[in-house]
């Protein structure tokens, strides 16, 4: 049986977007199982005292160039949505938490909508419309996102990630091993490859 990769991510994280364009193929190459774990990045930052790189001007300029370079390398669309950044992703993350079998396609759709098309994923109407474009019942997903069950589930996932050492997104775990950031995917694949230190 292959390794289990747990991907903790937030739609408001550009490096999470980039990682999600690659992680499924990586898991397949490594014979690993991939578990998608939407969490709330704002809650993580609150717990660990962190903040976005964009809060520092020099880092912000570097990050914008870096994101564009990664998108070019991966050959995926990317356009920084400056007019609607940062987004409030709490509702989007709750919708994903309650999405059931639609989790993966809805994750990809929300990421593309925000990081490629500049659609405001903080807006319930936009989230519902994106769900509808996938043939999903957007109103039902939004209603489920408002339930105590889903709210508690997202909070629990966020708390779990922090307890395991996460401090940002994307955070990828194989057991106790944390790989932080899109740029650690190469190391993750190396460690899961035959003969690698995490190979099973």
Q: Give the whole-angstrom CA distance, residue 11 versus residue 107.
A: 8
- Contacts by residues 106-109 (CB-CB < 8 Å, ≥ 24 positions apart): 106/130, 106/131, 106/134, 106/136, 106/141, 107/9, 107/11, 107/20, 107/36, 107/38, 108/20, 109/133, 109/134
Number of structural domains (the chain) is 1
Residue 53 clears pLDDT 60, i.e. is over it: no
Indicate whether 197 belongs to any domain.
no
199 assigned to some structural domain: no
Tell me, yes or no, whether 95 lies in a domain. Answer: yes
pLDDT tens-place string over residues 4-51: 999 999 999 999 999 999 999 999 999 999 999 999 999 999 999 866
Q: Evaluate whether residue 57 is within a structural domain.
A: yes
CATH (domain of 107): 3.40.30.10
pLDDT category at 195 given cuts 50, 70, 90 is: confident
Report the alpha-carbon distance of residue 7 to residue 38 in Å, rounded: 8
Would 8 be classed as within a structural domain? yes
Whether 92 is in a domain gets the answer: yes
Mean pLDDT rounded to a whole number for the chain = 95
Question: Which domain does 161 fall in, by range?
Answer: 4-192
pLDDT tens for each residue of 112-150? 999 999 999 999 999 999 999 999 999 999 999 999 999
| Residue that wins the pLDDT comparison between 115 and 60 | 115
> Which of the four pLDDT bands, split at 50, 70 and 90, describes residue 60?
confident
In a domain, 198, yes or no: no
Q: Is the pTM of this model over 0.85?
A: yes
State the pLDDT at residue 49: 85
Q: Which residues contact 53 (CB under 8 A, 6 or more apart)?
A: 59, 60, 63
């Amino acid at each position: 049986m292959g390794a289990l990769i747990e991907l903790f991510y937030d739609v408001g994280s550009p490096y999470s977007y980039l990682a999600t364009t690659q992680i499924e193929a990586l898991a397949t190459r490594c014979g690993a199982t991939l578990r998608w774990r939407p969490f709330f990045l704002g809650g993580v930052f609150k717990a660990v005292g962190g903040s976005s790189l964009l809060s520092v001007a020099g880092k912000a300029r570097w990050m914008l160039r870096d994101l564009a370079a990664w998108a070019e390398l991966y050959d995926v669309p990317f356009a920084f949505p400056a007019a609607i950044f940062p987004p409030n992703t709490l509702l989007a993350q709750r919708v994903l938490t309650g999405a059931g079998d639609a989790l993966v396609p809805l994750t990809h759709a929300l990421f593309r909508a925000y990081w490629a098309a500049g659609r405001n994923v903080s807006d319930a109407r936009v989230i519902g419309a994106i769900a509808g474009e996938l043939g999903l019942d957007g109103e039902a997903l939004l209603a489920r996102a408002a339930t105590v069950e889903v709210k508690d589930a997202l909070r629990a996932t966020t708390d779990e990630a922090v307890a395991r050492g996460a401090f940002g997104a994307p955070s990828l775990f194989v057991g106790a091993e944390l790989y932080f950031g899109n740029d650690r995917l190469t190391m993750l694949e190396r460690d899961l490859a035959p003969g690698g230190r995490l190979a099973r």
